[in-house]
Structure 1
Amino acid sequence: MARTLVAALLFASVSIPPVWAQAGAAAVPFLLISPDARSSGMGEAGTAIADNINAIYWNPGGLGFLSNRQIALSFSRWLPQFNADLFYSYITAGQYFPQLDGTVAVNFILMNLGEFVRTDNLGNVLGTFRSNEFTLGVSYGTLIADDLGAGIQLRFIRSNLAPAAAGESVAGVGTSGSFDLGVLWKPSRLTVGGLDLGKRLSLGVNLQNVGPKMTYRNEADPLPTNLRLGIGIQAIRDEFNDLKFAIDIAKLMVRRDSLGSDALPTSLVTAWRNPGVELAMGMEYWYQQTVALRLGYFTEPSRLGNRRFITFGAGVRYDMFTLDFNYINTIEENHPLAGTMRFSLLVDLGSTAQQ
């Protein structure tokens, strides 16, 4: 059991490139994977431009501005360089409820980690098993002012890394829960240095994955609590053209040393000793709200994993359907993320504000 659990833990750890180093390690890192191809195509910047149902991930405060019923689906064959059967799938749905004066959304994320070989301490093959991790979340967002939205997401998390071996009663399974808190400000009137930014600027804050540690047998690791700050600018918007830019800065709020990891809420303070932040930036251009092109860049310090990549994205909208695609081109050759693609579908079923 020990050997199979260790193997599954190691593979789960690289299910995304490292989100740890001297900063410490976190459990269930799949919670940090960007779910949709739109923001992923913009360098994984989305905190301040959360204007559809995918706001449940990027910033639940964005749900407060929605008045439509929407469904979103996303799929990615994860880390294709490994040639393994890893895949990431995501579905979310939500709608505005006049009685609640806000939008309620639910989502489900599944990270399939593939098949592993079970061996004993001598290396003899005992069989195979499959590992996966998933989360189920429910979110609510509302407007607390005409230009200010706030939201919360509650999440159940399950990690199934390895079954119990013969003669052992404890499996490599962990369960936890978490919450996200988000705020999105889209000022209708704002002038800075003589420049009119009303209805053009948006600012967002999202504190993600706040919850108790995930425990496997006798070991416990913190959740990947993450603080995201974002800014969005609507540069052009006319009858034919729509151009916006977005920048996100993210800080992993996990602190770990040789003695262990700090618990919440202590880690929200001590994590600021960790080096560096993630930086994501991107742009999106729509022509006649029908065809979209996206470009982005993501970087982080070497001590946090040294991920650096350029993203490309495209989208097409017809009636109620929007299909998006993005591709990751890593700066480093043969990086596990190289060639990763995402496909997303957004279905807008219309307004429920008057129902």
Structure 2
Amino acid sequence: MRRFLKISPLLILLVWSAALLGGSLTKTGTTSAQFLKIQVGARAVGMGGAYVALADDISSIYWNPAGLARLEGQGAINFVYSNWLADTKFNFAASALKAGDFGTIGVSITALTMPDMEVRNEFEPEGTGEYFSAMDMALGISYARKLTDRFSMGFNAKYILEKIWHMSASTFAFDIGLLFQTSADWLVLGISVSNFGSKMKYTGKDAFVYYDFMPDQYGDSEHIFANLQTDQWELPLIFRFGLAAEIINDEYHAFTAALEMRHPNDNTESVSLGVEYGFLKRFYLRMGYQALFEQDSEKGITAGAGFVYYLSPQMPLHLDYAYADWNRLTAVHRFSIEINF
């Protein structure tokens, strides 16, 4: 058994490398609810998003729900804020509580919002005077439990909503995650599958229009009531596998390295790498690279920092910041705060 555990990470890496070299087809733009792919947590982003095996805070809800079983203390509250691309705002809030031997229960909300925009059409290209709004949101409930001292499992169930003016689409989805601490205590394996659910389809009153079947003829009705059919789109399903190695961990210094490999249903496979250095278990510096091997990717280097302040001996306050380079699109800054109790 120990021999298998030693060779299995190498075997998985070799198989994944073959997939990366052999797979060249990209299906970018073929799924709905793209906001579900926006990464959560400044610590995770600062490490390039290589977090599926390192997850041990509330952002585990996004990366690997099994990480909730490793939550510090009896519970936690977390808030994440980011100025996302194209003047949009991304927010994430979550809370989790340990329920004894039953496990850990969590709830979360994810929202992508944007300023109101003026309605324009072919007859009034300068604007009609009306304004419309658009937003994406996900509400989730999570459960995680340690099945043994080395193995934990977690689940998310979530309601997903996308809305633009009078049209909306919604569905339900599920996530599952596993964490396994190997016989080498410094090495952890993580696996997760996110956004497994039914397709999304926009419906609403904007799909009902008046239509003239014979525009070149006179005498027929120009106002026949018609319904525009919209297509159904898959959710952005993603499979993650990762390794996290705690290379140094003593009273003064800590150094962790992590690797994550992703297989999405709407893009090519990719690899993310990240490292974290901690001093006195209070000050942290992070660096990483996101989405290596992803075709036509704008993602690049990430960096971040963190500070832990103790409100009381059993109530640490985690303040984290992350910078992510998106090349031509611009840089993205994230801030997160988490309180454990």
Give 1:311 deviation, angstroms: 0.5
Q: Which amino acid aligns with 1:283?
A: V
Q: For residues 184-223 of structure 1, what are the structure 2 equivalents within 5 Å?
A: 184-187=179-182, 190=183, 198-217=184-203, 218-223=230-235
Q: Would you say the 8 A contact 2:66–2:153 is kept in 1? A: yes
* CA-to-aligned-CA distance 1:159-197 (integer Å, 9 cap, x gap): 11222xxxxxxxx2001110001000113xx2xxxxxxx
Runs of 4+ in 1 over 4 A off after TM superposition: none
For 1:68, the equivalent position in structure 2 comes to 74
Separation of aligned partners in 1, 2:45 and 2:27: 27
For 2:213, the equivalent position in structure 1 comes to none
Percent of aligned pairs with the same amino acid? 27
* CA-to-aligned-CA distance 1:229-269 (integer Å, 9 cap, x gap): 11100000111001000111111124xxxxxxxxxxxxxxx
Give 1:23 deviation, angstroms: 5.2
Give 1:99 deviation, angstroms: 5.2
Q: Which amino acid aligns with 2:74?
A: N
Q: Which amino acid aligns with 2:340?
A: D
Give 1:130 deviation, angstroms: 1.2
For 2:109, the equivalent position in structure 1 comes to 108
Q: Would you say the 8 A contact 1:212–1:223 is kept in 2? A: yes
Which of 289, 301, 309 is the aligned partner of 1:310? Answer: 301
Give 1:123 deviation, angstroms: 3.5
Separation of aligned partners in 1, 2:287 and 2:42: 12
For 1:321, the equivalent position in structure 2 comes to 317
Q: Would you say the 8 A contact 2:56–2:69 is kept in 1? A: no
Separation of aligned partners in 1, 2:50 and 2:278: 17
Q: Would you say the 8 A contact 1:45–1:246 is kept in 2? A: yes
Give 1:51 deviation, angstroms: 1.0
The answer to whether 1:341 aligns with 2:333 is yes
Q: For residues 1-355 of structure 1, what are the structure 2 equivalents within 5 Å?
A: 21-22=26-27, 25-66=30-71, 67-79=73-85, 82=86, 84=87, 86-98=88-100, 100=102, 102-124=103-125, 125-126=127-128, 127-163=130-166, 172-187=167-182, 190=183, 198-217=184-203, 218-254=230-266, 276-301=268-293, 303=295, 305-319=296-310, 320-330=316-326, 332=327, 335-336=328-329, 338-349=330-341
Q: Which amino acid aligns with 1:178?
A: A
Separation of aligned partners in 2, 1:42 and 1:318: 21
Q: Would you say the 8 A contact 1:298–1:307 is kept in 2? A: no
Separation of aligned partners in 2, 1:161 and 1:251: 29
Q: Would you say the 8 A contact 2:27–2:265 is kept in 1? A: no
Separation of aligned partners in 2, 1:283 and 1:77: 24
For 2:3, the equivalent position in structure 1 comes to none
Give 1:288 deviation, angstroms: 0.5
Q: Would you say the 8 A contact 2:193–2:240 is kept in 1? A: yes
Q: Which amino acid aligns with 1:288?
A: L
Return the TM-score normalized by structure 2: 0.79
Structure 1, gaps ≥5 residues long: 1-19, 164-171, 191-197, 255-273, 350-355
CA RMSD, 1 decimal: 1.7
Q: Would you say the 8 A contact 1:42–1:284 is kept in 2? A: yes
Give 1:109 deviation, angstroms: 0.6
Q: Which amino acid aligns with 2:141?
A: V
Question: Secondary structure, in 3 states, of the residue corresponding to 2:55?
Answer: coil
Separation of aligned partners in 2, 1:22 and 1:243: 37
Change (3 A) 1:59 1:302: closer
Give 1:24 deviation, angstroms: 5.3
The count of aligned residue pairs is: 283
Change (3 A) 1:277 1:118: same
Give 1:113 deviation, angstroms: 3.0
* CA-to-aligned-CA distance 1:180-223 (integer Å, 9 cap, x gap): 01000113xx2xxxxxxx22000000000000011013221111
